[in-house]
Amino acid sequence: MKILIVDDEKDVELLFRQKFRKEVKSGVLELAFAFSGEEALKVLDSEHPPKVVYVFSDINMPGMSGLELLNQVKSHFPEIQVSMISAYGDSQNYEKAMQSGAKEFFTKPIDFESLKVEVNKLIESQK
């Protein structure tokens, strides 16, 4: 199963690779990274149909915001699930994300135990 992590902070890649090292090493999970909303759409457009089944995106990014990316993914790739992350646990972003079809909403620092539960549910549903 392939997931795409979208965040303008490049150190997020190392963090995700560490936290999901076991799943990646065993071959049950493939991680892809994009550092902007625009780059994420290019990744999704590069495979027909996209192999990505889950997008995990920061909300606050320069250029295309995570909420704009969520809307693009939901309109072009409705089968892909999307969860949002924000450094701010504000209810306005939460409401917008959930109304736009987000599966989950996480706040930074990321609770990787909760995220792993979510990812493991997806892995099980893909079997």
Segments making up each domain of the chain, as ranges:
2-126
d(CA 2, CA 123): 9
pTM: 0.93
Confidence of residue 48 (pLDDT cuts 50, 70, 90): confident
pLDDT the model gives residue 90: 77
Say if residues 52 and 80 touch (Cβ distance below 8 Å): yes
- What is the number of other CB atoms lying within 10 angstroms of the CB of residue 88? 12
Say if residues 45 and 27 touch (Cβ distance below 8 Å): no
pLDDT the model gives residue 105: 92
- Mean pLDDT for the stretch of residues 25-54: 94
Give whole-number Cα distances, 65 to 21, 68, 95, in Å.
28, 5, 15
CATH architecture label of 2-126: 3-Layer(aba) Sandwich (3.40)
- Mean pLDDT for the stretch of residues 19-45: 96
Residue (of 19, 33, 6, 14) closest to 112 by Cα position: 19
Count Cα neighbours of 76 within 13 Å in the Cβ-side half-sphere.
15
Residue 74's identity, in one-letter code, is: K
**pLDDT tens per residue, range 103-118:** 999 988 888 998 888 8
Mean pLDDT rounded to a whole number for the chain? 92
Residue 54's identity, in one-letter code, is: Y
